[in-house]
Structure 1
C-alpha cells in the first residue's frame, strides 16, 4: 500500500462524519470506517463494532508499516478502541495471522454493540472467519424493522439471526430463523437474550431446502431416488407475512444446490411459496458480477411461472459507509411485494 494510506483513512472518516453522527443518534455504534475497494486501498476494510475496531485484509497481508499507520491513525481519531487484525488473504479466506497473548485476549473477548437500538454480540476471533453481523446489511435490517410490526417473519440462511432479532425488537408477532449452523444459531440465541425480546423467537437448525419444502406444503421425502436423506426437523406448512432470503454464493447438500449466479430461482421459488399473498419477500444477492437488472428480471420471470407475480419491486441500497461510486454495489437487496 502507498505512503498515502493515512490520507485515505482520513478522507474516509471525514466523508462519514455526518453519517456517524446520525447513526449515533439512532443508537448505532457499528459501521464501516474504511471501504478500501473504492477508497484507495483495495482489499482492506476497517469496521467499528462498539468498543473495538476490526481490520481485515483480503488480497494481501498488511506490512508492519501499514499496520503501524492504521494503528496510529485510529489511536488519534478514535482513542481507546482496541484494534483486531484478521488477515484473510489466503485462498480460502480463513484468518491466518497469529496474535500474541494480549492481542488474542482482546480478539477473543465477547463484546456487545448496538445497531438501531438492537444489541448484538461481537467477537473479533471465533471459530469462523466472518464477523457475526454483516454491516452492509444495515439498510435491509432497518427496512425489516420498519415493516415487521405485528407480522410473522421468516429469516432464511439466518446466520447469527440479526434480521430475526431486529424484527422481534421492532414488534413482530412471530419470528422463525432457519440456518444449518448450530454455532451461528447459538450466537443468534445470545443476541435474542441481550435484547429481552417481547416474544419467544424460534431457531431451527436445518438445511433450508427441506425446511422450505415443508413450510411451502410440498413435503420433503425421507428417501430420494432410493437414497436415504440426512435427518431434518419436521415442520408444519406455514406462510409468513415477511420472508428474508440471504443465501450464500454457492452451497451444495443432498437436499439441493444454492447457486446465486446460475440458479437463484431454486431457493427463491420455495421462499416465494412460503410468503402470504400480499406479503413481502426481501431477497439478497452478494455476487458482484451479477447485474441487478438481470437478476430482478430472473426473479420476475420465476415468480410468474409459479403463478405468484411480483406486484412491486424496490431496491434497498447499502448506507453511506459502503460507498459505490458507480451505483452498482456488490450487495444487491430488493424488496418484493408479492
Structure 2
C-alpha cells in the first residue's frame, strides 16, 4: 500500500469534495483495492478486498501523522468502508467511523455548489466524485448556450439521483431542468440540494419510472440538453446492454433541433464503442461530438474500463 501512504503523506486538508487516491485504476501495483475520498470535513477510505486490522492501523497512523503536520488543531474525521464481492452480492457495505465524527446534516462543496451527502448509509454517498468533469461540462455548455442565444437552456436530467447535474445547470443559467428518478428519497435530497443553493425556481422533480413516463417527459420538451446517467446494472430498473437502446430511440423526439445529449456509462465491461455503436443504430441522426475526460485522479490503465461520458448532437437534415 506504499502508493496510498505516499498520497496521504502529501495530503492537504481538502476544501472541496474530491478523490484523493484511486487505486482502482490499476496504476499503483499493490493498491488496487484502495480508494481515498474527501467529503470535507471527512475522509472516506474504501477497500474492495478484505482489509486487515494491521493495514487499517498503518493507514490510521499515517493519517494522524499527516494531520498533525498539515492541519494542526483541526480534528481528523475519517470513515472506513469495506466493499467486495460478498458484500456486493448481499447489497450491503460495512462502514465504520474510525476517528472524529461525521456532521449531520453533512454538506460539501463542488465548484460553488452545496450538496448534501450521507457517508454512513450504504455505498452511494449522494455525490459521485468521478462525474465531476461531467458536471463541469454541463456548466460550461449551459453557460455557452445562454451567451449564444440569449436564453436559458431547457434541460432533461434522466436518472437524476440527487440532482447535482440540475444544480450545476441552473447555476449556469438554465431556464428549466426536469429531473426524473424513480427513487423518492433521492428526489427529496435533490430538492434539498436546490434549496441549499437558493435555487427556488426552475427545477421540476418527477419521482417516476422513466420507461413508464415517456408521455409526461416528452410533453415537457423539447430540450436543448438531455443528460442520461443510468446505473450500469440495477435489477428490475436498468440493464445497460438492453435498456440503453430503449433510451436512445427516444432522443430524437426529446431533443430540440441542434440539441445535445450527454450519455454516461460506468460499466467496466462495456466500452466507448458500445455506446457509439448503439447510438448509430438507434438514433443515427445524433452525431458523436466528444468524450468528456474523467478527473485526472481517476486515470485508469485501460480508459475503456473507466467511466464513459459521451456527447452527441442532433443534426437536423
TM exceeding 0.5: yes
Gaps of 5+ in 1: 217-235
Q: Which residue of 2 aligns with 1:240?
A: 223
Report SS of the residue matched to 1:164: helix
Secondary structure in 2 matching 1:172: coil
Partners of 1:172 and 1:198 in 2: CA distance = 13
Calculate the aligned-residue CA RMSD, in Å: 2.6
Alpha-carbon spacing, 1:198–1:174, altered in 2? closer, same or farther (3 Å): same
- Matches of 1:94 and 1:72, distance apart in 2: 31
How many residue pairs match? The answer is: 295
Report the Cα offset of residue 199 of structure 1.
3.0
Structure 1 residue runs of 4+, over 6 Å off? none
1:84 aligns with 2:79: yes
Query: In structure 2, do the counterparts of structure 1 residues 298 and 49 end up closer, same or farther at CA, with 3 Å as the change threshold?
Result: same
For residues 137-216 of structure 1, the aligned pairs below 5 Å read 137-149=131-143, 150-197=152-199, 199-216=201-218
Ranges in structure 2 where 5+ consecutive residues have no aligned partner: 144-151
Residues 174 and 324 from structure 1, CA distance in 2 versus in 1: closer, same or farther, beyond 3 angstroms?
same
Task: Answer yes or no: is 1:34 the counterpart of 2:21.
Answer: yes
Alignment map for 1:277-316 (pairs within 5 Å): 277-304=257-284, 309-316=285-292
Task: Give the alignment partner of residue 249 of structure 1, picking from 210, 229, 232.
Answer: 232
| TM-score (normalizing by structure 1) | 0.79
1:198 CA drift (Å) = 6.2
| CA displacement at 1:181 relative to structure 2 | 0.7
Task: Using structure 2 for the length normalisation, give the TM-score.
Answer: 0.84
Counterpart in the other structure of 1:224: none
Residues 20-53 of structure 1: per-residue CA shift (max 9 Å, x gap): 89xx8xxx61111111222332232110012111
In 1: Cα distance, 2:90 partner to 2:133 partner: 25
CA 1:30–1:268: 2 relative to 1, 3 Å: same
Q: Report if aligned partners of 1:281, 1:335 keep a CA contact under 8 Å in 2.
A: yes
Inter-partner Cα distance in structure 2 for 1:94 and 1:81: 29
